[in-house]
Structure formats: structure tokens, C-alpha cells
Structure 1
Amino acid sequence: MDFGISTFVTDEGIGPAALGRALEERGFASLFLAEHTHIPVSRETPWPGGAELPRWYYRTLDPFVALTAAAAATERLRVGTGIALVIQRDPIVLAKEVASLDLVSGGRAVLGIGAGWNREEMRNHGTDPRTRMALLRERVLAVKELWTKDEAEFHGEFVDFDPVFSYPKPVQHPHPPVLIGGSGPTTFDRVVEFGDGWMPILGRGTENLPARIAELRERAGRRVPVTVFGAPPRPDVVDELRAAGVDEVLFGLPTEPTDATLVRLDKIADLIAP
């Protein structure tokens, strides 16, 4: 089992380069960063995590800029999104961003994706929340075409372009892993059709996780990798996830200044030490 960190990098906490170095020095395998382009002031959509939206949601850096800084400061750390809001991103631009990150990192990029929860945020990007799952599907399929074809084209209801050249191509073959976030009733459909792994948030639809993982792998006809993010750094949680068949655990890291972050990472590193 691998261990990584999932967090929000903001203008008020530890910087991405320093965080990346600290993780690699302590033996962590990966860093996954959340994304919110903005938070609408209206706050009409309730946050699934509780009543009060944490401050770091409002202040996130662009994940691909931050992950590039972390990649440049490390040699082995995998750098991923947890999650990228694909329904708020142009697929041609997204394909280039991820491929560029994969190139400059030497093949360490991971694309964790989801459809998001903040309906006002989606609407500000011109996305209709009612059709966001269909939009997500087409954009991911289009990105994969752009990554893998010299002359890529896509024709769908929401994404439509004639043959194009799109470079760079990713270093990883056939492309960086696409991890599907969420745990709703149709999540496994997306994992089976266009995902390379499943990445649920611990505690949100992850009850009876061993049975759900077994169901997913049976449906897919392959051993789908499972990454759980937002996990508390506790030995009992790690043991349960290992027994459930989870491949990687991402511990949730609060957004704090450098010194406080390093103290917290030292404590978590004791948990993952051989």
C-alpha cells in the first residue's frame, strides 16, 4: 500500500515546492491537490462536508501550477489532482496542461477527476448542473483522444472538434492515470467506461468498502486500483483500508503555515514508517 497526502494549497499555507520536498523526504508517495476556481458569495449549494465551508476552499491555487512547482522540487513524488473539476475546464486546454505536467515531472502526473458539488460555481463556467455528468464523460473521452492520437478529433453533444494536433503527448503510456472521484450510484459506470481507478472520499459513500471494491472489480473484469483520499492518519483506519483492498491512502492535511505543517507531517510519517 502507498501513502500520500491530499490537501488544499493556498496563499496562506505552506507553498507547493516546500510541501513537495517535505513529503518526499518523509517517504510519502504522492501529493494530490484540490481545485476550486472560485467560491460564489451566495453559498446556496450546501457543502457535503458539513455546515461551514472551510476557509481554504476560497483560496486555492490553480492545481496544475502548484503541482508543477511541487514536481520541480522533487524527483519521485507523484503529483495529482484530487479532484480536477473537469466540467469547469476546456478539454483541449486540460489535455495540454496534464500532458505538460507529465512531461516536466518525468511521467509522474495523475488526473483525479469529478463533477463537483457547487452548482453556482458550475453555472459561472457556463455548465448546466443537470447535464454535468454527460459533460464530464465527453470531456474525459476527448482528453484521452488528444493524449493518444496524432490527429485527434471528437464529436459529441457537448464536445465537438475536427482533427487537431495537440502536443506535448504524455510521458506515461498510454496516458496518465485517470482516477474517478465520487461514490454515487453511477460512479462505477464511469470507472468501468473511462476510468483507470476509483478515488472516493473516505466517509462519503464508503460504507462497506470491501464489498464495494469487490463489486467494482467484478464489474470491470480487472483489478481496478483504488485510492482513498481525505483519510485520517490513524493506524486502525490504515488497517481497515488495507484489508478492504485499497491500493493507496491519501491522508487529509489541513492547510497551515510551513512550521505547523512540518510538525504534522512528522507525526503522520511515523505512522507510515516501515
Structure 2
Amino acid sequence: MEHGIVTFLTDYGIDGPALARAVEERGLDGLFLTEHTHIPTSRETPWPNGPDLPRHYSHTLDPFVALGAMAAVTERITLGTAVSLILQHNPIGLAKAVASVDHIAGGRVELGVGPGWNREEMANHGIDPRTRTARMLEHIAAMRAIWENDEAEFHGRFVDFDPIWSWPKPVRVPPVLIGGEGPTVLDRVLSHGDGWMPRRAGLDEIDALAARITELQTRAADAGRGHMLVTVFGVRPDAKELAAYADAGVDGVLFTLPAEGPDTVLPLLDEWAALVA
């Protein structure tokens, strides 16, 4: 099982390239970034984790610009998103951005995606929240068409374009890991993804997670698919919990690094690297 980091990379926290080098130097396996294009100042949508939205949500760097800088100073670690709100992007432009990062990184990009929770943020992009999941899936399909074809075209409900040329192509088509834990998420993973990216399950919930992973891999095999990646984000650095995830069939876990400066985050990286060594 691989061990990586997920963080809100901000304008007041550790520098992105410095963080990427620190993660690689400590022998950890990956660095994943969150995404919010902006946070509306007036918001009715409740934050799922409490009454007050933390400051770092409105201070995040663009993940793909940051990942490009990280790719230039690393050689080994996986670089990705956990998660990107791809429905808030033009899929032609985002396909080029992701392919460009993967080109710079030499094929080390994984794209975790989700529909998002902030309805006002979506509305500012002209998105009806009721269509967010369907739009996300269509954007995945359109981006994959661009990555996989020299002359790509796509005709859907939300995305429609005649044949186009768009280079660079990614070194490999980036694995798309679909976030969520709802009752139909495995359907989306199997129809449009290469893997699943659920949030942390407590020790008392890991047996249920293991059953869903078994279902996912069985259904994938029945459909003639290969192994589906399972990466859990927001995991606690606890040895017993990590062992349970490995036994459950999880391929990778992501520890949440606070959006702080090097004096805070580097000691945590040291601690976590020692835990999983």
C-alpha cells in the first residue's frame, strides 16, 4: 500500500516545490492537491464538516499550475488531485492542462475528481447543481476522448465539439479516480473511472469499506476490466488503521497535511515517513 499526502496548498503556507521535494526526499509516494476556484462571500450551502469554513478554502493555488511546478522538481512521486472539481472547467482546456502536467512529470499524474458541495460556487460557473454529477461524468468522457485520439470529437448534453487537434498528449492517460461514498458511486467508477477515491473510514467502518472494494473489483473483473485503484484520502497516521486499510484491499492512503508553513508541516512529514518506513 502506498502512502501519500493531500493538502490545501495556499498562498500563506509552504511553497509548493519545496513541499514536493520534501515529500519525495522522505520516501513518501505521492502528493495530491485540493481544488476550489473561489469561495463566494455569500453562501447558503453548509460546509459538510462544521459551521465555519476554514480560511484555506479561499486561499488555494490553482492545482494544475502548482502540480506543473512540482513536476519540474521531482522524479518519482505521484502527483494528483483529491479532488478536482472538473465540472467547473472547460473540458478542452482542462484536458490540455492535465496532459501538460503529465508531460512534464513523465507520466506520474492521477486525477481524483468529484462534483463538489458548494452550490454557490457552481452557480458562479453557470452550473445547475442538479446536473453536477451528470456534467462531471460527461467532462471525464470528453477529456478522455481528447487524451486518447489524435482527432477527437465529442457530442453530449453539456459538451459538444467537432473534431479537434490538441497536443501534448499525456505520457499515459491519467488514471481518473472518482470520489464519493454514496450508494451509486461504484456505478460511476465502473462506467467512467479507473479507480475510487473515498474519504476516510473509521476503524469500525473499514469492514464495510472492504466489502465495497470487493464488490468493485468483482464487478470490474466481470466487465473485463483490470484492477481498479482505491485511494482513501484524509486518513489518520495510525498504525492499526493503516494495517486495516491494507487488509481491506486499499491501494493507497493520503494523510491530510495542514495548510501551514514549513515549521509545522516538515516535522509532520518526518513523523509520517517514519511511521510507514
> Normalization by structure 1: what TM-score?
0.96
User: Which residue number corresponds to residue 171 of structure 2?
Assistant: 171
User: Which residue number corresponds to residue 184 of structure 1?
Assistant: 182
Provide structure 1 residue ranges, at least 5 long, that are not aligned to the other structure.
none
Within 5 Å, which residues of 2 pair with 1:100-139?
100-139=100-139
User: Which residue number corresponds to residue 246 of structure 1?
Assistant: 250
User: Which residue number corresponds to residue 41 of structure 1?
Assistant: 41
Shift of 1:83: 0.6
**CA separation in 2, counterparts of 1:240 and 1:119?**
35
Within 5 Å, which residues of 2 pair with 1:88-237?
88-172=88-172, 175-203=173-201, 208-221=208-221, 222-237=226-241
Is 1:261–2:265 an aligned residue pair? yes
Shift of 1:223: 2.8
Checking the alignment, whether the CA contact within 8 Å between 1:200 and 1:206 is kept in structure 2 is no
Checking the alignment, whether the CA contact within 8 Å between 2:140 and 2:192 is kept in structure 1 is yes
Checking the alignment, whether the CA contact within 8 Å between 1:3 and 1:248 is kept in structure 2 is yes
Checking the alignment, whether the CA contact within 8 Å between 2:35 and 2:63 is kept in structure 1 is yes
**CA separation in 2, counterparts of 1:207 and 1:47?**
27
**CA separation in 1, counterparts of 2:235 and 2:49?**
13
**CA separation in 1, counterparts of 2:247 and 2:207?**
14
**CA separation in 2, counterparts of 1:61 and 1:78?**
19
SS state of the match for residue 40, structure 1?
A: coil
**CA separation in 2, counterparts of 1:43 and 1:212?**
34
**CA separation in 2, counterparts of 1:206 and 1:47?**
25
Checking the alignment, whether the CA contact within 8 Å between 2:207 and 2:248 is kept in structure 1 is no
Checking the alignment, whether the CA contact within 8 Å between 2:201 and 2:209 is kept in structure 1 is no
Root mean square deviation of aligned Cα: 1.3
CA offsets 1:232-271 (integer angstroms, 9 cap, x no match): 1111110110111100011111111112111111111111
User: Which residue number corresponds to residue 73 of structure 1?
Assistant: 73
- 1:48 is matched by which residue type in structure 2? P
**CA separation in 1, counterparts of 2:198 and 2:276?**
21
**CA separation in 2, counterparts of 1:60 and 1:215?**
35
Identity of aligned residues (%): 58
SS state of the match for residue 229, structure 2?
A: coil
Provide structure 2 residue ranges, at least 5 long, that are not aligned to the other structure.
none
- Deviation >6 Å, runs of 4+: 204-207
- Aligned pair in 2 of structure 1 residues 160, 206: CA closer, same or farther (>3 Å)? farther
SS state of the match for residue 208, structure 1?
A: helix
